[in-house]
Amino acid sequence: AAASLADAGAPTIFDKIIRKEIPSTVVYEDEKVLAFRDINPQAPVHIVLIPKVRDGLTQLSKADERHKDILGHLLCMTAVIAKQEGIEDGYRVVINNGPSACQSVYHLHLHIIGGRQLKWPPG
Ligand code: 5GP
């Protein structure tokens, strides 16, 4: 019961991507995380990086002590993926948290965006 409460939140499209029930272009995968090309890219390189097990992490603001390892792993893998994509000279890692930040999928994910000159502030 504790586990199901902790993982409260409806399944998302990312569950189907993880289970390969809907196709995606995977660019990196290991036992803990999956990275695939965003279906609506905002730059020449736009990758979505997710934990394979949501474990209550519908959004970053739900993070607690037990998520430290996976959050560290996700951040570390952004560098590996950026290098693989040839954008190590400059890229952005974004986590949209909640409706006011335009989060649309409630399974924690990092956007890795690059391949063009990015503007700051993003708007
Ligand atoms: P959010 O707006 O929640 O931060 O980001 C969700 C991202 O997932 C969006 O950029 C959206 O384009 C992407 N996305 C949503 N559904 C799919 C899908 O079925 N396949 C892929 N590859 N990306 C998706």
Q: How far is CA 74 from CA 9, 51, 107, 116, in A?
A: 21, 7, 13, 23
Pocket test for ligand 1, best of 20, 48, 109 (most atoms within 8 A of CB): 48
Q: Residue 7 has what pLDDT?
A: 53
**Distance from C-alpha of 117 to C-alpha of 91, rounded to nearest angstrom:** 9
Verify whether ligand 1 is closer than 6 Å to residue 39 (CB atom): yes
109 is catalytic: yes
Domains of the chain from N-terminus onward: 2-114 (3.30.428.10)
Q: What is the mean pLDDT of each run of 10 residues along the chain (123 residues)?
A: 56 97 98 98 98 97 98 98 97 98 98 97 86
Q: Residue 123 has what pLDDT?
A: 77
Verify whether ligand 1 is closer than 6 Å to residue 38 (CB atom): yes
Q: Residue 6 has what pLDDT?
A: 44
**Distance from C-alpha of 116 to C-alpha of 113, rounded to nearest angstrom:** 9
- Interface predicted TM-score of the whole assembly (ipTM), two decimals: 0.99
Q: Residue 5 has what pLDDT?
A: 46
Q: What is the number of other CB atoms lying within 10 angstroms of the CB of residue 59?
A: 20
The residue with tokens 């560290």 is: 72
Predicted TM-score (pTM) of the model is 0.94
